[in-house]
Amino acid sequence: MSKLVTIYGGSGFVGRYIARRMAKEGWRVRVAVRRPNEAMHVKPYGVVGQVEPVFCNIRDDASVRLVMKGADAVVNCVGILNELGRNKFDAVQHEGAERIARIAAEEGVEALVHLSAIGADKESDSDYSKSKALGEEGVLQYFPNAMILRPSVIFGQEDQFFNRFAAMTRFGPVLPLIGGNTKFQPVYVDDVAQAAVKGVLGEVEPGVYELGGPDVNTLHALIDQMLGVIHRRRLVINKPFFVGTIIATVFDAIQGVTLGLISNGILTRDQLKNLRRDNVVSEGSKGFSDLGIQPTALEAVLPDYLWRFRPSGQYEAIKESAKNLRT
C-alpha cells in the first residue's frame, strides 16, 4: 500500500501545492482542514480517493490525532495573519504547532515538516512573529528531527500579496504604501512546496531552512515591478508609519466592535510591527542551495496570473499586437 501523508491546512495557499506534489509522488494525501466542504478542489490532484479532505481542529488533541492515524509523514501549513475569534496567534501557531509535533511523536510518524516564517523571534514585539518562534520551539522539543521552513513573502496565483496590491490599482491613480523601504525576498509558492516534499521524502537533512527568491527588493520596488506587469501607471506614495498606525487602529477597532463580522483585511497593528523589519534570508542560514533547488524569479511567474488586472485583461496582448500591424 502507498504511504500516507497528513497535511494540516492542506487546502490553503501553500498546502495545496504540497498536496499536489505529494500526490504526484504516489502518496495518499489526507488534507486536514476546518471546512472539508470548501476543500474539494484538492481531490483532482490525484486519482479517485488518493487525495481526501477531512475535518480537523488543530486546537483539539483528539481531532489532531484522529486525522494523523496511520500517517507516515505530517506537514503543518496552518497559519493566520490576523486573529479572529478563537483563532489567536498563540493558539494556532504556537500551541497548535506544538500539539501536532507532540502527537506525531506519540504516533510514531517518520517525518514532520513545519511551515514557519522569516522573522520568527520569541523576543519580537509582534505577536505573529513571537508565536511562530514559540511554535518552532515546541515542534523541535517533541520532534527534534523536524524540517522547519521559514519563507519570506510567498507569491503565486492565489497569493494575498501581489493580487491585493494589483486589485488596489483599480480604485484610483494613487497607490499608498506603508513600509515602502522595507526589503523583501519573495519566494515562489511551488518552490516552497518542493522544499517541503524533499523533507517528507527524507531527501535532505532536517533542520531550519530560510527560503527566499533570487532577488531582494524594497516593497516600493516590488510594486513598481508589479505595475509594469499589469501595464498600469500609478503614483506610488510611501506613507509614514504613524499614518499606518492610525489606519491599523481604526480597522482593528472596527473588527473588535463588530465582533469579527467585519475582518481587518487591510492592515493590523501587529502587521505594522513586522513591516518595520526587513523580511529577507539571514546570512549563514541554510536555504534553497542546501536543498538543491533553484528558486524561481518573479518575472517568470507574475505575468501568468496578474494579467487579469491589466486594463483590457486577457485582451491586452491582442491590443498590443494590433499596434504593430501596418495598414
Average pLDDT over residues 42-58: 97
Q: Tell me the residue length of the chain.
A: 327
Confidence check: pLDDT of 326 > 70? no
Cα-based angle 86, 89, 90 (whole degrees, multiple of 5)? 90
> What pLDDT digit, counting tens, does each position of 121-175 carry?
999 999 999 999 999 999 999 999 999 999 999 999 999 999 999 999 999 999 9
Does pLDDT of 190 surpass 70? yes
Q: How far is CA 79 from the centre of its chain?
A: 8
Average model confidence (pLDDT) across the chain: 95
Q: Are 103 and 116 in contact (CB under 8 A)?
A: no
Distance in angstroms between the alpha carbons of the first and the last residue of the chain: 65
Q: How far apart are CA 56 and CA 8, in angstroms?
A: 8
pLDDT value for 270: 97
List the chain domain ranges. 4-156+186-213+279-295
Helix axes 96-106, 61-68, angle to 10 degrees: 50
pLDDT at residue 93 above 70? yes
Residues 6+ apart with CB under 8 A from 305: 156, 157, 163
Percent of the chain clearing pLDDT 70 (strictly above): 97
Contact, 147 vs 113, CB < 8 A? yes
* Predicted pLDDT of residue 204: 97
As a whole number of angstroms, the distance between CA 14 and CA 20 comes to 10
- Between 323 and 174, the more confident residue is 174
Q: Span 53-79, mean pLDDT?
A: 97
Residue 318 scores a pLDDT above 80: no
φ, ψ dihedrals at 257, nearest 5°: -65, -35
Quick check: 321 pLDDT over 70? no
* pLDDT tens-digit readout, 198-230: 999 999 999 999 999 999 999 999 999 999 999
pLDDT at 312: 80
Single-letter code of the amino acid located at 256: G
CB atoms near residue 294 (< 10 Å): 10
Q: Does residue 319 carry a pLDDT above 80?
A: no
The predicted pLDDT at position 69 comes to 97
Where do the H-state alpha helices sit in 182-240? 189-201, 219-230
| pLDDT tens per residue across span 231-284 | 999 999 999 999 999 999 999 999 999 988 899 988 999 999 999 999 999 999
Architecture of domain 4-156+186-213+279-295: 3-Layer(aba) Sandwich (3.40)
Backbone angles phi, psi at 209, to 5 degrees: -125, 125
What residues contact residue 140 under an 8 Å CB cut-off, 6+ apart? 101, 146, 148
